[in-house]
Amino acid sequence: MSNNDVSACSLMADYLDSIGAGKILVDRGPLSFDWTPPSLVGRDNELGILASMFMGIGNEGVSGRAVVIGHVGTGKTVLTRRFGEDVVRELDGVRKMALSHVNCRNHPSTNQVLQQIALSLDSRHPERGFSSGEIIQSIRRNIRSRGLHMILVLDEVDVLIRRDNSDLIYKLLRIDEGQGGQGTISLILVSQDLALMGMMEPAIISRLGESNVLKLEPYGYDGLIGISKQRYEASCRSGSVSDDIFEKIGRFAESTGDARLAIELLEAAVRRAEMDGRGEVALSDVMPSTIRSASVEPSQIDSLSAHQKLVLLGICRRLRKEEEISSGDARKLYEVVCEEFEIKPRSYTTFWKHLKALEKEGLLEARSTNTSVGRGRTTYITMTNTAPSTIGSRIEEEFTRR
CA dist 102 and 100 (Å) reads 6
Nearest to 80 by CA among 110, 120, 50: 50
* 25-69 confidence digits (pLDDT tens): 999 899 988 899 999 999 999 999 999 999 999 998 899 999 999
Return the CATH number of the domain spanning residue range 220-290. 1.10.8.60
pLDDT value of position 366:
80
Question: Was domain 43-216 assigned CATH 3.40.50.300?
Answer: yes
Residue 337 pLDDT > 90: yes
Q: Which of 15-19, 197-201, 229-233 has the highest mean pLDDT?
A: 229-233
pLDDT in the model for residue 68: 97
Q: What does pTM read for this prediction?
A: 0.71
Q: What is the pLDDT of residue 18?
A: 56
Residue 55: per-residue pLDDT: 94
Distances (CA, A) of 344 to 81, 301, 308, 394: 57, 21, 13, 21
What span, in angstroms and rounded, lies between the C-alpha atoms of 326 and 75? 38
Q: Cα(191)–Cα(126) distance, rounded to whole angstroms?
A: 29
pLDDT, mean of residues 309-330? 91
Which CATH code for domain 298-401? 1.10.10.10
Question: What letter does residue 177 receive in the DSSP assignment?
Answer: T
pLDDT at position 341, please? 93
Between 320 and 112, the more confident residue is 112
Instruction: Please tell me the least confidently modeled range out of 45-49, 136-140, 338-342, 364-368.
Output: 364-368
Task: List the domain boundaries for the chain.
Answer: 43-216, 220-290, 298-401
Note the pLDDT of residue 270: 93
Q: What is the pLDDT of residue 291?
A: 39
- Looking at residue 387, its pLDDT comes to 72
Over residues 149-189, the pLDDT tens digits come to: 999 999 999 999 988 888 999 999 988 886 666 788 999 99
pLDDT digit string, tens, across residues 120-150: 998 888 777 788 888 998 998 999 999 999 9
**pLDDT at residue 7 is higher than 60:** no
Percent residues over pLDDT 70 in the chain? 88
pLDDT (tens digit per residue) in 206-261? 999 989 999 999 999 999 999 999 999 999 999 999 999 999 899 888 888 999 99
Residues 6+ apart with CB under 8 A from 343: 306, 307, 310
Share of the chain above pLDDT 90, in %: 58
pLDDT level of residue 12 (50, 70, 90 thresholds) = very low
Tens of pLDDT, residues 379-393: 889 886 677 888 888
What is each CA distance from 155 to 70, 160, 205, 214, in whole angstroms?
12, 10, 17, 14
Which amino acid is it at 249? I
